[in-house]
Amino acid sequence: MLASINRNLLKSVMLADGAFSLMAGAGLVVFSGQVASLAGPAVSSGIVMAVGMFLLGWGIFHLASARPSHPAENAVCFAIAGDAAWVVGSAAILLVARDGLSAVGIAAIAVAAVAVFDIMLLKMAGLHRQRAATA
């Protein structure tokens, strides 16, 4: 299995990101009220629902982009830019709205931002490998 991941890191990361985004998005949509109450008074169930809906679309985009044997470079660059925006947005939320977040909300946003940053780095490494293989 690891040999398969190493052979096509970019495709594997895009598939994994797509699958995780779909699961997380579905969970946020279904449990939006409960997640909002855990996250703190600044977070409404509507916000959680919107993030969940976004993640459902993000997951579909990733799965569709990962279908070819080598994901299209423009789709991967878009995904990397989206990941970077997520990390910057998370940092902004933690700086601006932390007083309205619970400890659970702060931890969830911080952990998600670190995970997205790590996935972004894997996408960048995979894109670099794909470019080197086709050069």
Q: What DSSP letter does each residue of the chain carry, written as one string?
A: -HHHHHHTHHHHHHHHHHHHHHHHHHHHHHTHHHHHHHH-TT--HHHHHHHHHHHHHHHHHHHHHTSSSS--HHHHHHHHHHHHHHHHHHHHHHHHSGGGS-HHHHHHHHHHHHHHHHHHHHHHHHHHHHHHHH-
Residue 61 confidence (pLDDT): 99
Average pLDDT for consecutive 10-residue bins of the chain (135 residues)? 66 97 99 98 97 99 96 98 99 96 98 98 96 85
Cα 130 from chain centre: 21
> Is the whole-model pTM more than 0.75?
yes
Residue 99 confidence (pLDDT): 95
Residue 135 confidence (pLDDT): 74
